[in-house]
Chains A and B, each alone.
Chain A
Amino acid sequence: MSTFTYMWRLICYRPGWYITNAFIWTIIYLMPIFPGLITKAFFDSLTIDSAAAYSTWGLIALLIGAAFARSAMVLIGFITDVNFRFRMGMLLRRNLLEHILKEPGARAIPCSPGEAISYFRDDVDQSEEAVSWSVDVFGMTCFAAVSCFILIRIDAQMTLLVFLPLVIVVVVAQLATTRLQKYRSDSRESTAKVTGAISEMFGSVQAIQVAGAEKRVMSRFRQLNDNRRKTMLKDKLMTEVLDSIFSNSVNLGTGLILLLAGQKMRGGEFTVGDFSLFVYYLTFVTQFISNFGKFLTYFKQMTVALLRLTGILQGAPAQVLTAHNRLYLKGDIEDGAAKQEPQAIDKLEQLDAVGLTYTYPETGRGIASINISLKRGSFTVITGPIGSGKTTLVRTLLGLLPQTSGIVRWNGQEVPDPGSFFAPPRSAYTAQVPRLYSDTLRENILLGATDQKGQLARALHTAVLEDDLGHLQNGLDTVIGPRGVKLSGGQAQRTAAARMLVRDSELYVFDDLSSALDVETEQKLWSRLFRERGDATCLVVSHRKTALAQADHIIVMRDGEVEAEGTAEELLAASDTFRQLWHGEEN
């Protein structure tokens, strides 16, 4: 998609708002024509006898009237602008978020969440700015045309002689903004390094203090700061040179007018009023050129933003960004947004994966040609040494990583898109390092699901969370997560387990559920799980004996492949790796 199409599609999202906005702003930009003419009339009324028809008070009234009229238009203009901008920017953010939530969950974004935020904020802002400025450019062009027409009628020769060189100076300066962009990106980068360093320093403060590395870390930090000063200075200097060219070109133009006007004033064909009008419009015309340059810069930035935003889509067409979707600013949100209450689903009888393969693009490691098969009601454990691909396997199976090859079958039927297929009520999942959101404990568990038939209470019990509730100030309504009460590692894991269990599902998948639990809590959790899961199928990543001993089937992974499988007894007899995992020692 070209930048122009991108812009066009954004404009077309709410064409009504856009056209109204463009209309109002054109008027706002045209209005300074009047104060210029009034000023001219004022000077003429003083110097030319025939023009004395205008009374000074009449002109003053006109001047104030023009200011009030312009103010009223500005007020309306801001309202139309904010309404259009908000909708357009939020459409982009909405589409971006929705797309990311549709991507394979473990690889939803090709960068860190911190970086991705800057896409949501800065790149969308830049797109918004460019589209919004297109309106201003149109209005200012109208002003330039009208004012040039007026000036040429007064003195064509002088208009050309004054404005032409100025236009050239300003355009040349504008071209230098390419340079400026390079400096700008350098200074951004060095700033990012400084904030990155702060975040690292204080994110790992314990490691630094434990290692007594404060001095070394600080000298590195001061170095980064100084680099930033240097790049910032270059950036500022360049900006200032450009700014001063723009703001002083009015003075230069005035000087040029003076140079030419002497003779004509003496001859009487150029009045003081004309002079004042020239100088007055000069200000606005140079402003127009510099704003036009600003628009070009925004447009260029929009090209970059589009490129970056397309990058974060990971291969999806850029049209996704500008798809015209509702924002639910009015009406009932629940109506359309939470559409899929999925139709009655096939009960799970058998789940098969054949030739499941995933390779991490960065390291080339991953899993290769895994075959697994789960029967209804079975309890399967995946185990293996660290880095053997256990987590990768469950993620690939559930479509949380995009499989390189392989087939997944649900009751013999091939699953075309595991990512959307494996969700409640078919399956629910607890990640190895579960994420909690800044919301109440209740919402963190339910995530929008409704608590029917005491499911929540049951899930809390099975996940051994009831005792912890008493210690939280507001029980289930305590706000937890990054901006709330921080739960301990074990509590977070059990909350995630409850989040999974509250959704009645055919298949429960949990990755290393008990790594942060003490033995007693862990045993409670497993025993409740066995008792209360009913005939749901379970797939568990663990190397805990409690889990291994209860398993109907164990899959031993090693170096991204299935090394052995069977029950604990069989594997103890047959598999070296399993024996080592079981005993923690080499027999």
Chain B
Amino acid sequence: MSKKNKMKFSQYRMMLSRYLLPQKKALAGLALLLFSSIGLQLVNPQIIRYFIDTAQSDKTLQPLYYAAALFIGFSLIQQLVSVIATYVSENLAWRATNQLRGDLAEHCLRLDMSFHKSNTSGSIIERVDGDVNALANFFSSFIIHLAGNLLLMIGIILLLFRENIWIGLGMLLFVVFAMIVIQWIRKFAVPVWAKWRQINAEFYGYIGEHLEGTEDTRANGATGFVMNRFYSLLRRMLPLRRKAFLGFSAMWITTIIVFALGNAMAFAISASLWKAGAISIGTVYLIFYYTELLAKPIEKIRTQIEDLQKADASLLRIFELFDTAPKIADGPGAKLPEGPLSVELNEVTFGYDEFPTLQELNLQVKPGEVLGLLGRTGSGKTTLARLMLRFYDPQQGSIRLNGTDIRECKLAELRSRVALVTQNIEILQGTIRDNLTLYDESISDSDIVAVLRELGLRNWYDTLPDGLDTPLASGGASLSAGEAQLLAFARVFLTNPGLVILDEASSRLDPLTEFRMEQAITKLLSSRSCIIIAHRLATVQRADQIVILEQGRIIESGARVKLAADPSSTFSRMLAAGLEEVLA
């Protein structure tokens, strides 16, 4: 346990030194502002005391007006100070968290697919934005507010001790008692809130899913079913919400009672001291005023500790994320030559878990050659494509491009030379230009338009109201499935790869569109190597070589023409089945 705490402590220190300490000047200014604000708060009751005592005496009235003016002046200055302090600390916090948020996002972006497969973008938002936001307070104010309020509290108690030891002691006891009771009550209030938040998340998750599935729900007559589920969710929610609110009211009630007790004690002690003639009536008011003033730091310290506990969980998750190292280490930086690349797989074995998806694969593609990769769903074709781009590394064996092991290359270099078009198209919310260039400003508009024309998207492009600046909705809602696939193709056409991998890249296209693209693809593949992954035979017609995979092993390979001519080959049997399909 203590070791864990120690680790936590060092994590906090690391956070502070990396993100907050660089802003020393702002920190110092902030501390100064807060201390002066505390001083002003402590001085004001003293003025009132002076005022009341003077008013009760026979001295001249003149000093009373000065005292009142001083009180108003101090109040105004304190107001100004607190505004400036908030500004400085907010700015500090945002700079620090922005830095952290950026670092975290960059780190996640570098992680490999095994991470992204198990973390949806929603959960990453929660971590990169939600958790970092929870730390914002830790950065902006935690230390300074905690220290500031502790000082204010200590200051008040010291000043009360100065008046009289009994009142000082009494108030010290009260503060300790108040902190303990409020912390204790919190134990009951917090877990119910967590439960409420959890069911709330479930509720909106439910609504979200059904907002996406309205078409399916409607057309299959499931509206009643969806509403019934909604009602039964409500039934589970009401008691939890009631409990959560009761927890909240318990906090409030505790505050009411604790501070009534505090006031009562102040009354009792000061009344007896007054009756004994030990203090003036002004001092009685001073004690009353300070007791009321104590409420603030006690509340603040409580919320700060609460925030720290929230930040704790967030901090833990953030460090966990930072500690997730990409399984794929960047290579030392071997260069890949311009022009078509040769591909060589040597005894490649790979599995996502203990079961191998690919086993002892050997394969060769000469520069400029086209390889057709066939096989049923789950035979490992897509996995092979992922290995080529190092989304995963094989457990055994090696992959070489032009004789260079791809683990020797920088990832950026490898991925700029190997292009992949998949069946899943990821459309970003942004303009069509952003979607095609992925923010690469070196690509000119005329190049983009030329590519769209080549791909037969000319008509589509002409209907766009703002040309390349037309925004696309996230997920590509404004595109038909086929059009989105063509855009994914267009992305590759705008780069200059030496190896192109088409993974079922045309499964959503109709044969006519596919045919129209043939020419464009021919042009793309001229002086490039290519691996075409398909479950349709028509797609591999341009292949020089064919490889057929089954359960992660090559069951057949050879030149396409030769395999087609050999009636005993699996490929020719597949061709025959395809032919049957035509004749049926």
Contact = CB atoms under 8 A, between A and B. Distances in A.
B377 A210 contact: no
Nearest to A509: B219
Interface string B430-466: 1000000011100000000000000000001001000
Given A117-B208, A195-B125, A248-B79, 11 more contacts: A74-B249, A100-B211, A112-B475, A210-B419, A229-B98, A237-B87, A340-B224, A364-B463, A429-B220, A545-B584, A584-B512
B61 to A, nearest CB: 5
Contacts of A63: 260, 263-264, 267
A20 B14 CA distance: 53
B242 A83 contact: yes
A447 B222 contact: yes
B423 to A, nearest CB: 8
A184 interface: no
Given A78-B249, A207-B428, A337-B227, A216 B439 contact: yes
A386 B482 contact: yes
B420 A520 contact: no
B246 A108 contact: no
Contacts of A488: 377
Given A97-B230, A519-B536, A244 B511 contact: no
Interface stretch (B65-73, B155-163, B400-408): B65-73
Contact of B71 (A77, A258, A337, A516): A258
A499 interface: yes
Contacts of B439: 213, 216-217, 220
Contact of B125 (A199, A221, A391): A199
B180 interface: no
Interface string A371-394: 000000000000111110001000
Given A94-B230, A385-B512, A398-B219, A194 B71 contact: no
Interface string A79-107: 10111001000100110011011111110
A262 B61 contact: yes
A346 interface: no
B332 interface: no
Contact of A581 (B94, B113, B460, B510): B510
A64 B429 contact: no
A112 B228 contact: no
A295 to B, nearest CB: 19
A114 B253 contact: no
A546 interface: yes
Contacts of A395: 215
Contact of A386 (B209, B213, B281, B480): B480
Contact of A112 (B87, B259, B474, B536): B474
Interface stretch (B47-55, B169-177, B310-318): B47-55
A275 B64 CA distance: 15
Contact of B223 (A101, A251, A432, A585): A101
A449 B129 CA distance: 41
B577 A387 contact: no
A277 to B, nearest CB: 12
Contacts of A313: none
- Give the dominant DSSP class at A's interface: helix
Interface string A110-122: 0011101100110
B83 interface: yes
B382 to A, nearest CB: 10
A47 B284 CA distance: 11
A204 interface: yes
Nearest to A446: B225
B307 interface: no
B90 interface: yes
A266 interface: yes
A367 to B, nearest CB: 13
19 contacts: A71-B253, A71-B257, A105-B218, A117-B207, A210-B420, A220-B439, A229-B94, A248-B78, A259-B69, A266-B55, A337-B224, A386-B508, A400-B215, A437-B210, A509-B219, A518-B535, A543-B510, A580-B511, A584-B515
Contacts of A528: none
Interface size class of B (residues with CB under 8 A): 35 or more
Interface string A222-242: 100110110011001100110
Contacts of A265: 52, 55-56
Nearest 6 CB-CB pairs, A to B?
A448-B225, A386-B482, A584-B511, A67-B260, A423-B221, A435-B213
A60 B511 contact: no
Interface residues of A, number: 174
A581 B582 CA distance: 12
Interface in B374-421: 376-377, 389, 391, 411-412, 415-416, 419-420
B241 A120 contact: no
Contacts of A214: 106, 109-110, 412
Contacts of B475: 112, 203
A199 B213 contact: no
Contacts of A531: none
A337 B220 contact: no
Interface string A167-207: 00000000000000000000000000011101111111111
Contacts of B507: 515-516
A155 B295 CA distance: 29
Given A384-B510, A518-B535, A362 B218 contact: no
B581 interface: yes
A481 B209 contact: yes
Contact of B274 (A46, A201, A432, A437): A46
A60 B230 contact: no
A438 B473 contact: no
B194 interface: no
Contact of B86 (A42, A213, A240, A583): A240
B538 interface: yes
Given A214-B110, A216-B439, A218-B109, A109 B238 contact: no
A428 interface: yes
Nearest to B260: A67
B303 interface: no
Contact of B264 (A60, A121, A200, A256): A60
A368 B344 CA distance: 53
Most interface-central of A35, A212, A221, A496 (chain B CB within 10 A): A212
A214 B83 CA distance: 39
Interface in B245-290: 245-246, 248-249, 252-253, 256-257, 259-261, 263-264, 267-268, 271-272, 274, 281, 284-285, 288
A554 B82 CA distance: 76
A276 interface: yes
Interface stretch (A285-293, A303-311, A327-335, A452-460): A327-335
Nearest to B58: A266
Interface in B76-125: 76, 78-79, 82-83, 86-87, 90-91, 94-95, 98, 101-102, 105-106, 108-110, 113, 116, 119-122, 124-125
A202 B121 contact: yes
B459 to A, nearest CB: 9
Contacts of A406: none
Contacts of B582: 545
A566 interface: no
B561 interface: no
Contacts of B474: 112, 196, 199-200, 203
Given A103-B214, A195-B129, A199-B125, A259 B478 contact: no
Contact of A362 (B76, B242, B427, B478): B478
Given A105-B215, A233-B91, A518-B535, A334 B109 contact: no
Interface string B568-584: 00000000011001101
Interface in A402-435: 419, 422-424, 427-429, 431-435
A483 B205 contact: yes
A449 to B, nearest CB: 8
B505 to A, nearest CB: 12
Interface string B509-540: 11111110000000000000000000110100
A338 B228 contact: yes
